[in-house]
Structure 1
Amino acid sequence: MGSLNLDTSITLERMPQPGETIAAQGISLHPGGKGANQAFALGRLGCPVAMVGAVGQDAAGDTLLESLQAAGVDCSCVARREVPTGQAFITVDSAGENAIIILAGANSTVSPADVEKLRPLLAQADCLVLQLEIPLETVMAAAKLARSLGKVVILDPAPAPGPLPGELLALCDYLKPNETEVALLTGLPTATVEQCETAARRLLAQGVGTVLVSLGAKGALAVTPQEALLVAPPQVKAVDTTSAGDCFTAAFALRLVEGETSLQAALEFANTAAALTASRPGAQASIPARDEVEALLAAR
């Protein structure tokens, strides 16, 4: 359950400074939104998945639904609203790093009333994946419903608004921030892996089951009450990191619902999927199929 956006990506040699005008190298439109990207990635990786969210009654909404359906995503619970489809404006520099501005549009209309659509879906599901590009009260209601039905809850806290309510954190079996987001969630420094672990343990103390901190080229740090595990990714040339975090979340969720009991193995699979995504341009277009992920894993 989450956001669906039409992404406008602008490629640049470097990010502009305040007050500076620079030339773009290219511009493209493509389907995105953290919720939709994660659903798309699960579909591409071969996992049965349904999407709950909202788009406008416009061409952008048509494009987003067509993309998800092509990946095998059940979109029967994506509402069509009389407001424009959400948009994201993404700048990507020559190192593949990005900055993103969101215009919520129809995503802002996803309300706790929509959460009831989840009930029949969750009856058949193992896991609910959430993000923060829809209203926080809706995320809270969805997490409560999933936990009441005994389902695993994974929250990707992006965009991080600052500290989250303890009630929501306590509903999260897995919380997957990046190093910037874990700093915003805790108010603690996260410049080093050790600092990230300290911040993650602050979140564990607030009720999170496991914290997964994605660290870009350094890989991923999993922190549980019993251990901290740093798993390095395969080395690739980063082209566009826009959807790498979304693909990581989806790939980890996939291995979880498939019954993977080794946290290290699940992280290695997620890291590999994310690395492949970062090596390609675009949002959903960059997400690999499962056989590609397994081939790179086998080659390591």
Structure 2
Amino acid sequence: MMKQAQIDAPSLARILSGLVEERAGRSDVAVVGSMNADYTVEVDAMPRPGETIFSGPMAIHPGGKSANQASSCAHLGQRTHMLGAVGDDANADMLTDELAKAGVMTSGIERVEGPSGSTVIVVDRHGENFVVVSRGANASVTPAYVRRHKDVIVSAAVLGLCLESPMDTVVEAAEIAAVAGTRVILNISPMPSQRDAVALERLIGLADVIIMNEHETAQFLGRDSAIDIDDDWNAFRRELAAKGLHHVVVTLGGQGSVVMTGDGDRAGDGMMSDGEDDGIVHVPAVSVTPVDTTGAGDSFMGATLAGLAHGNALVDACRLASVAAAYATTGRGAQSSYGNAKQVLDLVRGR
């Protein structure tokens, strides 16, 4: 049976309170991965194949899934380190400067020859978007790069990873973290190709928590249609556990998220809260009028990293993430739309 998590101002204030306090021991977050300049245009409706349409003015925002996640995490007051690479173009300064403004530690970012990563994003009048990525300097984030900066990973409480970086790099980072006892949070996005199946299986074995959206989860399970809140989540949990995924968060956009942990054979390991070990919990979305959903999923991931780094249970971290992601949809761009702890809390208080 699926349980329902509640989001209210007192509980959110409790979750947020630890993020701005120094704690003994490891509490840093490290994020390894991509940084992109987002070239965004707004349209009335998405173009059909072969169709030419007009858009509004083009805007350039700092982005990249990993950089977005680090920015979201740091916005909430969490000490966060970004590891990655930018090029020698004008976008390089913009990407690193914006992360620094958000409070992200950027000393581990290296500069390489050639263009920085870039993204083309088209947003329609409903706030929905599609995204095309050119890796650029992100392709230079190699296993050797990760080994050069392993001290950042080893000293962190939590490591955030996604799959916009080369797969062998992501595996290397996860292996270093696993040996060090750093908790690995893996965002399986974008979904890798079949040629990376063995590496993905290795990553899943190293990850403590897996985060995917409804489309990625459906693809991962070989289903034709996206996952829905009214589907059989007990069946999903069994299928995912059979593939080695025991602590999973599936984000569902306006339907919130579902947190699953345990499978009957492997206990919840204290990841759930309020006696909810070995369960399935629905964390509702916060109702807002979206302007641009770009980067909302990354905001969810970043807030989850922040919550977990300070010892919150997975459901509580996702409560925080639900509000942070909702706030992000009320502004334009990715990092430029992220809220700090006060703004996120005010959103709940104002409902």
- Confirm or deny a common fold (TM above 0.5): yes
Where does residue 304 of structure 2 map in the other structure?
Answer: 252
Q: What's the offset of the Cα at 1:162?
A: 4.6
Larger radius of gyration between Structure 1 and Structure 2: 2
- Is residue 192 of structure 1 aligned with residue 244 of structure 2? no
Pair 157,191 (structure 1): closer, same or farther in 2 beyond 3 Å = closer
Where does residue 209 of structure 2 map in the other structure?
Answer: 174
Q: What's the offset of the Cα at 1:108?
A: 1.0
Q: What's the offset of the Cα at 1:144?
A: 0.8
Pair 274,201 (structure 1): closer, same or farther in 2 beyond 3 Å = farther
Residue 163 of structure 2 contacts residue 170 of structure 2 at CA under 8 Å; is this kept in 1? yes
- Is residue 68 of structure 1 aligned with residue 119 of structure 2? no
2:328 alignment partner, one of 271, 277, 290: 277
Where does residue 108 of structure 2 map in the other structure?
Answer: 77
Q: Which has the higher contact order (CA 8 A, sep 6+)?
A: 2
Structure 2 unaligned residues grouped into runs of 5+: 1-31, 263-277
Residue 12 of structure 1 contacts residue 23 of structure 1 at CA under 8 Å; is this kept in 2? yes
- Is residue 113 of structure 1 aligned with residue 164 of structure 2? no
- Is residue 19 of structure 1 aligned with residue 50 of structure 2? yes
Which digits, 9 at most, give the CA deviation of each residue in 1:273-299, with x for residues without a partner?
000001111111001111111222344
Residue 153 of structure 2 contacts residue 182 of structure 2 at CA under 8 Å; is this kept in 1? yes
Where does residue 240 of structure 2 map in the other structure?
Answer: 203
Q: What's the offset of the Cα at 1:35?
A: 0.7
1:200-239 equivalent positions in 2, closer than 5 A: 200-225=237-262, 226-239=278-291
Amino acid at match of 2:201: G
- Is residue 47 of structure 1 aligned with residue 84 of structure 2? no
Which digits, 9 at most, give the CA deviation of each residue in 1:81-102, with x for residues without a partner?
1121000000001110110000
Pair 247,201 (structure 1): closer, same or farther in 2 beyond 3 Å = farther
2:65 alignment partner, one of 34, 41, 59: 34
Q: What's the offset of the Cα at 1:14?
A: 0.8
1:136-175 equivalent positions in 2, closer than 5 A: 136-162=167-193, 164=197, 165-175=200-210
Residue 41 of structure 2 contacts residue 123 of structure 2 at CA under 8 Å; is this kept in 1? yes
Partner Cα distance (2:238, 2:125) in 1: 34
Amino acid at match of 2:203: L
Residue 179 of structure 1 contacts residue 196 of structure 1 at CA under 8 Å; is this kept in 2? no
Could you list the structure 1 runs, at least 4 aligned residues long, displaced by more than 4 angstroms after superposition: none
Residue 174 of structure 2 contacts residue 184 of structure 2 at CA under 8 Å; is this kept in 1? yes
Amino acid at match of 1:292: Q
Partner Cα distance (1:145, 1:209) in 2: 21
Structure 1 unaligned residues grouped into runs of 5+: none
Where does residue 158 of structure 2 map in the other structure?
Answer: 127
Q: TM-score, normalised by structure 2?
A: 0.82
Q: What's the offset of the Cα at 1:205?
A: 2.4
Where does residue 130 of structure 2 map in the other structure?
Answer: 99
Residue 211 of structure 1 contacts residue 223 of structure 1 at CA under 8 Å; is this kept in 2? yes
Which digits, 9 at most, give the CA deviation of each residue in 1:58-107, with x for residues without a partner?
11111101111111111111110112100000000111011000000011
Partner Cα distance (2:246, 2:279) in 1: 12
Residue 127 of structure 2 contacts residue 291 of structure 2 at CA under 8 Å; is this kept in 1? yes
Q: What's the offset of the Cα at 1:196?
A: 6.2
Partner Cα distance (1:251, 1:272) in 2: 9
Partner Cα distance (1:256, 1:8) in 2: 32
- Is residue 266 of structure 1 aligned with residue 317 of structure 2? yes
Pair 11,246 (structure 1): closer, same or farther in 2 beyond 3 Å = same
Find the residue that maps to 2:144 and give its secondary structure: helix
Q: What's the offset of the Cα at 1:36?
A: 0.6
Which digits, 9 at most, give the CA deviation of each residue in 1:156-209, with x for residues without a partner?
111112564321111111111101111222212434232566445433322233
Q: What's the offset of the Cα at 1:266?
A: 2.1
CA RMSD of aligned residues (A): 1.6
Q: TM-score, normalised by structure 1?
A: 0.95
Find the residue that maps to 2:108 and give its secondary structure: strand
How many residues end up aligned between the 2 structures?
299
Residue 196 of structure 1 contacts residue 213 of structure 1 at CA under 8 Å; is this kept in 2? no
Partner Cα distance (2:164, 2:233) in 1: 23
Find the residue that maps to 1:175 and give its secondary structure: strand
State the percentage of identical aligned residues. 38
Amino acid at match of 1:221: V
Partner Cα distance (2:176, 2:279) in 1: 29
